[in-house]
């Protein structure tokens, strides 16, 4: 059975409360439940992690080296600042899909640069919670 790791970065634990006009009204638990349901339907195993701490995200990526076949990551604000997360993804050589709820290219200038995109197989942004669902579908297709 193929295994997919989903990493939610900083402040995503506040979804549903945080700037709903930008990030929507769905909370992280709802997104996770939908991802778990979809994973079951697709016949893949899924592990979901959320962290507000850069080093913990790096450690999670390292620890998945012998487990995951694909990573889905929403690095949150670390998208635009973290060379450490970028290097961790590059180091493990596991296909990675970058996800964003909002369209980062329609936002502030500083949000339009991703350190993750160059080491990801693809990026899905701007579809709200559906960005995650599209990423899971893409990961399953990528692994077939």
Candidates 100, 105, 130, 132; catalytic one: 100
DSSP string for 49-117: EE-S-HHHHHHHHHHTTTT-SEEEEE-GGGGGT-HHHHHHHHHHT--EEEEESS-GGGS-GGGG--SSG
Closest CA to 121 of 142, 137, 100: 142
Query: Catalytic site residue 100?
Result: yes
Pair of tokens at residue 136: 């899971």
Q: Is 133 one of the annotated active-site residues of the chain? A: no
Nearest CA among 123, 133, 129 for reference residue 38: 133
In the set 23, 78, 132, 133, the catalytic residue is: 23
26: tokens are: 């769905």
Which amino acids are annotated catalytic? Answer: 23, 100
């Amino acid at each position: 059975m193929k295994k997919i790791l989903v990493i939610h970065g900083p402040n995503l634990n506040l979804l549903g409360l945080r700037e709903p006009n930008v990030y929507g009204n769905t909370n992280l638990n709802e997104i996770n439940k939908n991802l778990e349901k979809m994973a079951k339907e697709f016949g893949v195993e899924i592990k979901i992690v959320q962290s507000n701490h850069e080093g913990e995200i790096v450690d999670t990526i390292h620890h998945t080296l012998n487990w995951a076949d694909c990573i889905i990551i929403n690095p949150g604000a670390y998208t635009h600042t973290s060379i450490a997360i970028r290097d961790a993804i590059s180091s493990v050589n596991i296909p990675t899909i970058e996800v964003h709820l909002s369209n980062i290219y329609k936002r502030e200038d500083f949000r339009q640069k991703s350190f993750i995109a160059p080491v990801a197989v693809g990026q899905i942004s701007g579809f709200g919670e559906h960005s995650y669902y599209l990423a899971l579908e893409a990961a399953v297709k990528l692994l077939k």
